[in-house]
Amino acid sequence: MEVDIGIPDLKQKLLAEVRLLFRPNGSAWKSPILEVLQDLRRSGVQAVLFGGTLRSLLVSRLFEGRFGRLRDVDVVVSGAALPELEERFSAIMARRTRFGGLQLRNGYWRFDVWPLSETWAFRKDRRSSVGFGDLLSTTTFNLEAIAVEAWSKSGRPRALFSGNDQFFEGILSRILELNRTDSPFPELTVVRAIIMAAELRFRIGPRLAMYIGEVGPNLSEEAITQIQANHYGHSRMSSCTLKQFVEMISRRSSEQAPIDLPRIGQLHLWDSEGAFPPRVNIHCLES
């Protein structure tokens, strides 16, 4: 990453990556994404790309120097109820998700699409009036607190929603931090945090370390394996390594300082040969 890059530069880079995503270039892997997004656009709804989708685009450009091949696509829409979305995408709908949306599958791509009003945190907080900018307060991690319009209205550029810019500050500092503590699935939060930080080679922030120290010690290796299978479809990290990371972070969680994870194996954002899905192949730490 450039030494003197700042948040305004990162915002422009992210918007440029979104424009590239929407630009047809004959790539077979991109076609299923564009088909779903163009179908949403034709339906007349407003939509934003959200969270990890945008993180993947930006960090791939910054740290790998290339356009990111996404693992999945997170889309939040306004102007369509869940039954409408189910009817429109019945041909590719896989299931309803635990978070109030739909999981669609087109080709080998997975899409999580949900109406803005059905966002889990909004329903929990009983908020009756919300906008896309409010999504930023609902994310578990700082590196998910970002949204960009999937398409702009005529005559103006795409809107970018970043709130207090904690997403971009996390990218610049290379720190993964907790944003919201009341996750409905705390064990999944621990597993996702460690895998994300290890894959990106980011540090674990103090608040997140405290959370891992409270939730993580009760996780067994068997539970870690099952959580990964349910969420990712496969194990992205060996359960014994992840358990060791939990124990290490828990011991240091009172330090109130970012924690570096040991570097193990050869970590890549994307498989060097472009295989899908990309995986992180690492082994247990030596005792």
Domain of residue 166, CATH code: 3.30.460.10
Tokens 């685009």, residue? 57
End-to-end CA, the chain: 34
Domain containing residue 180: 174-287
Residues 258, 140 share a domain: no
Predicted model pTM: 0.85
- Please count the other Cβ atoms lying within 10 Å of the Cβ belonging to residue 75: 22
Q: How many helices and strands (H and E) does the chain possess?
A: 10, 9
Residues 6+ apart with CB under 8 A from 192: 140, 141, 231
pLDDT of residue 281: 35
CA distance 104 to 107: 10
pLDDT of residue 270: 44
Alpha helices in 22-110 (DSSP H): 31-42, 52-59, 82-88
pLDDT of residue 226: 95
Residues 50, 116 share a domain: yes
pLDDT of residue 218: 92
**In order along the chain (287 residues), what is the average pLDDT of each group of 10 residues?**
78 94 77 83 87 90 79 82 84 78 78 78 70 88 95 84 96 95 90 94 96 95 94 87 95 94 61 40 39
pLDDT of residue 224: 96
pLDDT of residue 41: 85
Using only C-alpha atoms, the chain has a radius of gyration, in whole angstroms, of 19
Domain tally for the chain?
Answer: 2
C-alpha closest to that of 147 among 52, 235, 81, 41: 52
pLDDT of residue 272: 39
Residue after which a domain boundary falls, among 173, 188, 203? 173
